[in-house]
Structure 1
């Protein structure tokens, strides 16, 4: 049974992830992977293209990390204040949500952060911390002060 090398163009369960070079049988390569646009035959030119793309992606990843480090310094340099409605004995009505923290960051720092990248659990007045995931390796801790309006 002849083996052939294939570059995956999308994730294939049990075989590998997009961009991986795998060895599979000739029939599987032609009748499934290539036919369904899930892979291309690994020629020297294609392998060179993949290598160049990986280098470019790695460089872009490094640039994004440096940018995220800069944003982290900005976010950790100051605290943000969020005015909330409270009931008796300083209890909040509900909680301060990720969306409210994202809006406060937008107003204070002029940095747009996706609310899904913010972790916070603020249910009382006072100083709290919100974790902002800026990059896979970079997390910023933002001080949030919940004060009564």
Structure 2
């Protein structure tokens, strides 16, 4: 399992089926005998999606050009529609990038555990030291 997880992490592979339905199969039974399962999975890397940073930069440049054109013709409805479409495309690319980063974080956390800072460990040690009973005195 750890070899597979390290492969996923090192190749920046994500589960592309997280964008659709949570489950891909149901046994169509009723009550407690009903089962939902996710059996269809597809792992993809960023080469399938393309270089998101370059793609995002190109889309933002296109949006900037559209906005410049709107300055010359502010009442052009076609330019407004292009602006909305381009903004939607930009958001979709950002969503894919966020999904990628979230899944990378999950894999890293599963492999290495949550990384706490030195500050966290120091405050935890101080709290434990304060709560310990060192000696008991009797009057």
TM-score (norm 1): 0.28
Bigger fraction of residues in strand: 1
* Larger Rg, first or second structure (1 or 2): 2
